[in-house]
Amino acid sequence: MATAAEFRLTLDDGIVRMDEGRLLVRTRPLRTLRLSEEESRTLDRWTAGEAITDTGLARRLIDAGVAHPTWASGPFGPADVTVVIPVKDRAGLVAALVPTLGEVADVIVVDDGSRVPIDGARIRHERPRGPAAARNAGWGLAKTELVAFVDSDCSPSPGWLDALLPHFADPKVAAVAPRIASAPGGSLLERYETARSPHDLGRSPGQVRPRSPVGYVSTTVLVVRRSVLSEAGGLSEEMRFGEDLDLVFRLLKQGWKVRYEPASVATHLARRKPHQWVHQRFSYGTTDAPLLTRHPGSMAPLTASPWSVAAWALAGAGRLGLAATVAAGSALLTAHELGELRVPPRRALRVATAGHLSAGRGLVAALTRAWWPGTLAAMIASPRARRLIAATVLTTYADEWRDQRTTLGLVPWCLLRLADDVAYGTGIWAGCLRNRTFAPLIPDLHGAPGLQRRL
pLDDT for 94 equals 94
pLDDT for 4 equals 43
- Averaged pLDDT, 445-450: 54
Determine if residue 405 is left, alpha or beta; phi over 0 gives left, psi from -120 to 50 gives alpha, anything else beta: left
Residue 445 confidence class, pLDDT cut points 50, 70, 90: confident
Q: Taking Cα atoms as reference points, which of 201, 172, 140 lies closest to residue 55?
A: 172
φ, ψ for residue 386 (rounded to 5)? -60, -45
pLDDT at 228 over 70: yes
pLDDT for 29 equals 65
- pLDDT-wise least confident of 62-66, 92-96, 345-349: 345-349
Q: What is the dihedral of CA 60, 64, 67, 73, to 10 degrees?
A: 60
Per DSSP, what are the bridge partners of residue 124?
A: 111
pLDDT for 434 equals 95
pLDDT at 454 over 70: no
Letter for the amino acid at 424?
Y
- Averaged pLDDT, 139-168: 96
pLDDT for 27 equals 67
Residue 2 confidence class, pLDDT cut points 50, 70, 90: very low
pLDDT for 3 equals 43
Are 155 and 267 spatial neighbours (Cβ–Cβ below 8 Å)? yes
Higher confidence at residue 8 or residue 254? 254
pLDDT tens-place string over residues 29-73: 667 888 889 989 999 988 888 888 667 888 888 888 888 998 888
pLDDT at 136 over 50: yes
- pLDDT-wise least confident of 205-209, 275-279, 356-360: 356-360
Are 50 and 76 spatial neighbours (Cβ–Cβ below 8 Å)? no
pLDDT for 346 equals 76
Higher confidence at residue 31 or residue 265? 265
- Averaged pLDDT, 296-311: 88
pLDDT for 306 equals 86
- Averaged pLDDT, 272-276: 91
What domains can be seen in the chain, in order of their start residue?
4-71 (no CATH), 78-271 (3.90.550.10), 303-445 (no CATH)
- Averaged pLDDT, 297-302: 92
Q: How far apart are the C-alpha atoms of 290 and 307, rounded to whole Å?
A: 30
pLDDT tens-place string over residues 372-422: 999 999 999 999 889 999 999 999 999 999 998 888 999 999 999 999 999
> Using H for helix, E for strand and C for coil, what is the string for the chain?
CCCHHHEEEEECCCEEEECCCCEEEECCCCEEEECCHHHHHHHHHHHCCCCCCCHHHHHHHHHCCCEEEEECCCCCCHHHEEEEEEECCCHHHHHHHHHHHCCCCEEEEEEECCCCCCCCCCEEECCCCCHHHHHHHHHCCCCCCEEEEECCCEEECCCCCCCCHHHHHCCCEEEEEEEEEECCCCCHHHHHHHHHCCCCCCCCCEECCCCCCCCCCCCCEEEEEHHHHHHHCCCCCCCCCCHHHHHHHHHHHCCCEEEEEEEEEEEECCCCCHHHHHHHHHHHHCCHHHHHHHCCCCCCCCEECHHHHHHHHHHHCCCHHHHHHHHHHHHHHHHHHHHHCCCCHHHHHHHHHHHHHHHHHHHHHHHHCCCHHHHHHHHHHCHHHHHHHHHHHHHHHHHHHHHHCCCCCHHHHHHHHHHHHHHHHHHHHHHHHHHCCCHHHCCEECCCCCCCCEC
pLDDT at 435 over 60: yes
Q: How far apart are the C-alpha atoms of 203 and 289, rounded to whole Å?
A: 29
Residue 28 confidence class, pLDDT cut points 50, 70, 90: low
pLDDT tens-place string over residues 186-195: 899 999 999 9
pTM score: 0.90
